[in-house]
Amino acid sequence: MNFQEFLRLLRTRWWIIVCITVTTTTITYIQNSYFVKPEYANSATLLINDRHSNEKYSLTFDDVLLYEKLIGTYRDIILSNKVLNIVSHEMQTEYHTTLSASEIRRIITVSTSNNSQVITITAQYTDYILATNLVNLVAKAFSENLKAIMNVDNVSIVDEAVVNSPVPPLALQPN
């Protein structure tokens, strides 16, 4: 088939190309409008560091290594039922939203960078305000309950999640 035959074929079958294009575009629009929910994310940042309030204290290399090792333990504590049940109760009383500890565990992720004392808690959900409130409650519940769990008080919230407007969705998730 040479180029002129190809052009002749396009001229005679143009309506098929237009119908396929219009049909595909319409189906995609309907799917994205009615069957797919946008998903949003927001994050809070925690710092693992010994809080000596009024003392002159220099951080040693051993302290830094200890805090880096503790981050894995802290990640597990953040995702524990003890912390997430507190968050679940707070979500219900403050925001009238019922989420179980296992649902919250699916919504949030806890990440760190290598050789860092910083923990990032991210909530990814279909409601941006709820994701923001959830991540802030998780950070607060963890930092407030760590002393009772491990008898240490070395976590501070560096950045709380804030509501920014307008917020584009991260991705579209099928229902």
Q: Is the pLDDT of residue 175 over 90?
A: no
Report pLDDT digits (tens) over 15-30. Answer: 998 999 999 999 998 8
Q: Is the pLDDT of residue 60 over 80?
A: no
Same domain assignment for residues 84 and 170:
yes
Q: Is the pLDDT of residue 115 over 60?
A: yes
Q: What is the CATH number of the domain that holds 117?
A: 3.30.70.1130
- Residue 39: what pLDDT? 86
Q: Is the pLDDT of residue 56 over 80?
A: no
When divided into structural domains, the chain yields a total of 2
- Residue 87: what pLDDT? 96
Containing domain of residue 64, as a range?
Answer: 37-174
- Least confident residue range of 10-14, 52-56, 76-80, 101-105: 52-56
Same domain assignment for residues 29 and 112:
no
Same domain assignment for residues 20 and 54:
no
Q: For 20-170, where are the E strands, in sequence order?
A: 36-48, 108-112, 118-125, 155-159
The two structure tokens encoding residue 70: 């503790």
Percent of the chain with pLDDT over 70: 91
Q: Is the pLDDT of residue 114 over 70?
A: yes
Same domain assignment for residues 148 and 105:
yes
**Greater model confidence, 74 or 66:** 74
Average pLDDT over residues 113-124: 88
Same domain assignment for residues 62 and 100:
yes
Q: Is the pLDDT of residue 41 over 60?
A: yes
Distances (CA, A) of 56 to 51, 52, 53, 59: 11, 8, 9, 10
Rounded CA-CA distance 122/175 in Å is 21
